Amino acid sequence: MKWYRKLYTGESARSKRFRIVSRVKHGRYMKDVFLITLASNPKNLLDIYPGYVFLQPYFQEQDQLILGIALGKDEAFSVAQKIIEDVYGSTGALRIQEYFEPKAERV
């Protein structure tokens, strides 16, 4: 699993981000935590997963880039919107994969 260096965080998750990241890395359950990742399907822009999904061995082994964290589904949609707006504002296009892949950092 890879983490974006400048991890996007929702308002509620900002003060708890180190705790959330630590729990995800160590496979611990977190209520109401959502992770925003690069899309697994090339037709989509982003994927939003509830945090408990990353407890499954399959997701622990995947080399997914986590771009953002949020507390609650509404906040996750806001964080995803912010990511999309930033990419579009910087590039003028919605090429999210190409924008983030070179900036990935393995943790």
For residue 86, the model assigns a pLDDT of 94
Residues 16 and 71: beta-carbon distance below 8 Å:
yes
For residue 61, the model assigns a pLDDT of 76
For residue 105, the model assigns a pLDDT of 52
User: In terms of DSSP H, where are the helices of 9-100?
Assistant: 11-14, 17-25, 57-61, 73-91, 96-100
pLDDT at residue 64 is higher than 70 = yes
Beta-carbon-side half-sphere exposure of residue 46 (alpha carbons within 13 Å): 26
pLDDT at residue 37 is higher than 90 = yes
Average pLDDT score over residue span 13-33: 90
pTM, whole model, 2 decimals?
Answer: 0.86
